[in-house]
Copies of this chain bind each other. A is one copy, B any other.
């Protein structure tokens, strides 16, 4: 279109992936951050990620590889979905870099995530990132914001909340997921009823589990459905 001749070749750009790994630890919503070891911004907290290994590596494959290399998490059993591409010029001082962000949901505390190859990895409360108490490299705070908003939204109409839980879970655990991600508190009794009234969301697993004190909770497993109808509606978003 620009009148250049047949010889024109499209520009080529460095492509990276970044991963927002979300989980629930002790009923608090956490994101995994690593401390950058290299310039630029060495020492700052950042999302795990990196450049494609070679010109033919798939971006989804690259995300899974970084998940393993930097967070020592196995992709199987994790929910991984693409978020968006962040590629405005100027976002990376090294040059023109287009980064494809992924969101991964991990079930509760499988490992402390340190002591492995990913020694600089740490779970940080999402709230600390959103509020700016912890500052992140590049535009990673915006990426986390987008991931959190995506998760909040998908909790309403899909069974994404189950990805935060293990194979079996109690409804109280599930409630803590909703409360942690949405940043609100819900009535346990109404939550109990509502969740069980959504066909295909959860089904009883027969057993019970003791948590701390009190009556043991029944265990549930995923009901197989992925879309929730009726949806779980979160309480009024921004109060006047």
Q: A12-B12, A12-B13, A229-B237 are in contact. Are A2 and B85 (CB under 8 A)?
A: no
Interface 1/0 per residue, A85-103 and B, CB below 8 Å: 1011100000010101000
Q: Which of B54, B98, B230 contacts A98 (CB 8 A)?
A: B98
CA distance A153 to B153 in the complex (A): 10
Residue of B nearest to A236 (CB): B229
CB neighbors of B among A185-239 (8 A): 227, 229-231, 233, 236-238
A58 to B14, CA, bound (A): 14
Distance in angstroms from A82 CB to nearest chain B CB is 5
Q: A84-B84, A88-B60, A98-B98 are in contact. Are A10 and B1 (CB under 8 A)?
A: no
Contact A233 B236 (CB under 8 A): no
Closest to A240 in B: B199
Taking a contact as CB atoms closer than 8 A, the residue among B2, B82, B88, B153 that contacts A53 in the complex is: B2
Separation in Å of the A159 CB from the closest CB of chain B?
Answer: 13
**Is there a chain B Cβ closer than 8 Å to A59's Cβ?**
yes
